[in-house]
Amino acid sequence: MRFLGVLAFTIAVAGCQANEGSDVASGDALNDRSHSGMGAVPVEGGTLFRVWAPNASGVSVVGEFNAWDPAAHPMHADGNGNFTVEVVGAHAGQRYKFFVSRGADHFWKNDPRSALVAGDSRDSVIVDHGAYHWRTPSFRPPPVERQIHYELHLGTLNGTWRGAIDKLDHLAALGVNMLEVMPPAEFPGEVSWGYNPVLPFAMERTFGTPDDAKAFVDAAHARGMGVLIDIVHNHYGNVDSNIELDMACFDGDCLGAAGSYFYGGNRARSPWGWRPNYSAAQMRDYIVDNAMMWLRDYRADGLRWDATFAIRAIDGRDIEEGWSLLRRVNDASHSESVPKTIIAEDNQDSPWVTRPTQESGLGFDTQWDNWSYHRLFGPIVARNDGERDMNAVRDAIAHSINGRATQRVLFSENHDETGNLNGNVRLPNRISPDDPASLDARKRSTLAASIVLTAPGIPMLFHGQEFLEDGRWGDRALDFSRAQRFSGILRLYQDLIRLRLATDARGLRGGNLDVFHQNDGDKVIAFRRWDAGGPGDDVVVIANFSGKSFSTYDVGLPRAGRWKVRFNGDAKAYSSDFGGSSSADVDARTGGFAPERDHQPFAGSVALGPYSVVVLTQ
């Protein structure tokens, strides 16, 4: 690192901001740029501190480097609401706070850009992001059409970043290749899902240190898996409290709500907590810098933005500053030299969310598809076969956003739908409340997963789903002994993921779909997936949503010749009490009923087990 005086540092930062969209390699010398010179920035011989406190009459930095003396290092006002000082001798690992004055009132505040907090008093800690030695500098994530996402909570997976590393071999063997980590930023208390951040730049201390997080990313990269970070900027803190929310009234003036960092008036509160003030340039910078911190300092391979609808609108009315903020940060994310996957949880099924910014969209690569989830969920959990709505199944399979398969993330479980809010439980419990390990629960939950892993979109699993984890998810530890107890179910997921990525099943990653067969009476649906078409490309998926077994079932086929059974969800290899329906290959024929019904030139007969999927390729 080079030594920077305050003036030189400011000039250097301005130059970096002016070139924000430039292509900069992901290296260890990104600390200055990724933080825009705000917070605590280690420089040679000391640390530069800068904080935004527009209504403060004075600010000083106090810490272990000056015996916590408010008079030792007063910060000078930059004239734009920022206060700055360079402290010689202050170094990484030391604790600090800001001593904020407003007239005769004084407040001890954590740095809003703290990278870590420590101790019972939750002091901010100086962190040097450039000190970590990366072992996987050449890693590149898979392209979106090859991505298999896996949502996880660190506390649930194995307690901490370091503990989670111990489970990466299991995930690599499962075959997933993008790990979506639920929000790891500092939250109040010891237990949380992470959707109540109070210091968005700070690593949640119960999970470990910034270096621990980087070691997890490094270890995932070494196993061929990318890492996505879930971030929350639609609100900070909790809905009814400012407990531990250091940014609230930061400079002593609450402005009738929560102060300079937050909106006032009818925009002040989201459904979950205080809404950041997107109209303030300093808060827009704050949020952009936070996103880029994860992508640069932690080398995350993408971000999942929580509840973007609450950033871009309120009560059906657009927040223009929220739209411009999201466009700006997505353009910055996509300017990185290593591709990043940027996901929205928007829940409004809006095509504008995933349209490019140059077409007036928000520029997200993809978005969670709750619309399709709820259409698939009903037929899966319905008590009787007669209640299974095959139109809803068809809609879940065929739903498209802007005509692009990869613009939706498809799932049958996620944290909201399996968590302990509103009585939600895991899918096996929804299917069979009294016995979530029952044959019915195993069959229908894996039927749902089979649709997710063969339909267009980016498929996502929720941690533990692969070994039939049950109950209400909170953040309790996964029971990995279930991977042995339900080893066949685990194998089913592994086989589906391998097939999804197989060279000779390219159609499962293609953008074309034809749902050509829908039998409402027998509850069977079939669809074709393809990219360019032809052998090794065309894939035919037949799904039985009934408890009835078919020894022969006629279905249309797009081409003559032999079709191989590449997956049979009724195989006894997955469970000894599965039906074991025949998995013989299928010879296409001309004539008969199926081609006329399915509008295909050929037909074939396939065996279908109850609540099972069969996949054919040539």
Tens of pLDDT, residue by residue over 200-225, are 999 999 999 999 999 999 999 999 99
64 part of a folded domain: yes
The answer as to whether 435 is a domain residue is: no
What pLDDT is stored for residue 19 in this prediction? 32
Residues 6+ apart with CB under 8 A from 251: 53, 54, 55, 56, 100, 102, 259, 260
Residue 23 pLDDT greater than 90, yes or no: no
Examine the pLDDT at 592 and tell me if it is beyond 70: no
Measured CA to CA, the distance from residue 469 to residue 489 in angstroms comes to: 11
Do residues 292 and 361 both lie within one domain?
Answer: yes
CATH number for 307: 3.20.20.80
Structure tokens at 3: 């030594």
How is residue 613 written in tokens? Answer: 């999927």
Please tell me whether residues 206 and 282 are part of one structural domain: yes
Higher pLDDT, 27 or 314: 314
The residue out of 88, 104, 131 marking a domain boundary is 131
The tens digit of pLDDT for each residue in 83-95 reads 999 999 999 999 9
Q: How far is the C-alpha of 291 from the C-alpha of 303, rounded, in Å?
A: 8
For 476-558, where are the alpha helices, taking DSSP H only? 482-485, 487-501
Predicted confidence (pLDDT) per residue in 478-508, tens digit: 999 999 999 999 999 999 999 999 999 999 9
For residue 183, what are the contacts with CB-CB under 8 A and spacing of at least 6?
193, 194, 195, 197, 229, 230, 231, 232, 306
**Mean of pLDDT over the chain:** 92
Q: Is 518 inside a domain boundary?
A: yes
- Residues 121, 156, single domain; the answer is no
Distance CA(318)–CA(326), nearest Å, equals 13
Q: Which of 377, 386, 379, 458 is nearest to 425 (CA)?
A: 377
Task: Look at residues 134, 114, 113, 112 and name the one whose alpha carbon lies nearest to residue 125.
Answer: 114
pLDDT reported for residue 36: 65
Q: What is the pLDDT of residue 389?
A: 98
Regarding whether 84 and 14 lie in a shared domain, the answer is: yes
Given 344, 368, 392, the domain boundary residue is 368
Segments of 175-218 assigned E as strands:
178-181, 185-186, 199-203
pLDDT for res 590: 86
Q: How far apart are CA 508 and CA 530, in angstroms?
A: 7
Question: Which pair of tokens denotes residue 207?
Answer: 């999970």
> Based on the domain organization, do 103 and 173 belong to the same domain?
no
Read off the pLDDT of each residue in 351-375 and give the average, rounded to a whole number. 98
Task: Please state whether 410 falls in left (phi above 0), alpha (psi between -120 and 50) or beta.
Answer: beta
Residue 594's pLDDT band (cuts 50, 70, 90): low
11 has a pLDDT exceeding 80:
no
Residue 263 half-sphere exposure, CB side, CA atoms within 13 Å? 24
pLDDT digits (tens, 9 = 90+) for 150-182: 999 999 999 999 999 999 999 999 999 999 999
| Segment 87-126, tens digit of pLDDT | 999 999 999 999 999 999 999 999 999 999 998 889 999 9
198 HSE (CA, 13 A, CB side): 25
203 backbone dihedrals φ, ψ, rounded to 5°: -70, 130
**pLDDT, tens only, 31-58:** 333 446 999 999 999 999 999 999 999 9
What CA–CA distance (Å, rounded) separates 20 from 3? 22
In the structure encoding, which two tokens stand for residue 459, read together? Answer: 């498929």
Q: Is 158 found in the same domain as 35? A: no
Residues 34 and 79 reside in one and the same domain: yes
Angle of helix 439-452 versus helix 487-501 axis, rounded to 10:
10
Those residues with Cβ within 8 angstroms of residue 452's Cβ, 6 or more apart along the chain or in another chain: 376, 410, 411, 412, 459, 460, 461
The tally of CA atoms less than 13 A away on the side-chain side of residue 429 is 15
Spatial separation of the C-alpha atoms in residues 438 and 300, rounded to whole Å:
39
CA–CA distance, 232 with 304 (Å, rounded to integer): 9
CATH number of the domain that 104 lies in? 2.60.40.10
Beta bridge pairs of residue 51: 83
Name the band, by pLDDT with cuts 50, 70 and 90, for residue 12.
very low
Co-location of 69 and 184 in the same domain: no
Please indicate, yes or no, if residue 247 is contained in any of the structural domains: no
The enclosing domain of 613 has a CATH number of: 2.60.40.1180
- Which residues neighbour 492 within 8 Å (Cβ) at sequence distance 6 or greater? 446, 449, 569, 574
Q: What is the CA radius of gyration of the chain?
A: 27
Predicted local confidence at residue 483, as pLDDT: 98
Q: Which domain holds residue 69?
A: 6-131
In a domain, 402, yes or no: no
DSSP letter assigned to residue 280: S
Q: Amino acid identity of 268? A: A
Structural domain tally of the chain?
Answer: 3
What is the number of other CB atoms lying within 10 angstroms of the CB of residue 361? Answer: 19
Q: How confident is the model at residue 591 (pLDDT cuts 50, 70, 90)?
A: low
pLDDT tops 70 at residue 342: yes
Q: Which of 189-193, 505-509, 611-615 has the lowest mean pLDDT?
A: 189-193
Q: 153 in a domain, yes or no?
A: yes
Quickly tell me which residue has 């909106």 as its tokens.
263
Contact predicate 285/265, CB 8 Å: no
Q: Look at the alpha carbons of 96, 272, 267, 304 in this order and tell me if their dihedral is positive or negative.
A: positive
Task: Assess contact for 583 and 565: CB atoms under 8 A.
Answer: yes
* pTM (predicted TM-score): 0.93
The predicted pLDDT at position 34 comes to: 40
Lookup: tokens for 519:
């039998």
pLDDT band at 190 (very low <50, low <70, confident <90, very high): confident
Residue 33 lies in a domain: yes
| More confident of the two residues 80 and 5 | 80
Say whether pLDDT at 9 is over 50.
Answer: no
- Please indicate, yes or no, whether residues 30 and 168 belong to a single structural domain of this protein: no
User: What is the spatial distance between Cα 611 and Cα 546, in angstroms, rounded to a whole number?
Assistant: 6
All residues at 6 or more sequence positions from 252 whose CB lies less than 8 Å from its CB, including other chains: 55, 56, 100, 101, 102, 103, 105, 107
Q: What percent of the chain has pLDDT over 70?
A: 91
Q: Same domain, yes or no, for 118 and 182?
A: no
- Range with the lowest mean pLDDT among 219-233, 242-256, 357-371, 574-588? 242-256
What's the helix, strand, coil split of the chain in %, to 5?
30, 25, 45
CA distance 415 to 425: 10
Of the residues 131, 162, 182, the one at which a domain ends: 131
Report yes or no on 495 lying in a domain.
no
Give the model's pLDDT for residue 14. Answer: 33
End-to-end CA distance of the chain: 58
Angle between helices 390-398 and 370-381 (to 10 degrees): 150
Taking only the tens place, the pLDDT of each residue in 410-463 is: 999 999 999 866 678 999 999 999 999 999 999 999 999 999 999 999 999 999
166 and 91 in a common domain: no
Average pLDDT over residues 56-81: 97
Contact 581, 561 (CB under 8 A): no
Question: For residues 467 and 489, what is the distance between their CA atoms, to the nearest angstrom?
Answer: 6
Residues 191 and 316 in one domain: yes
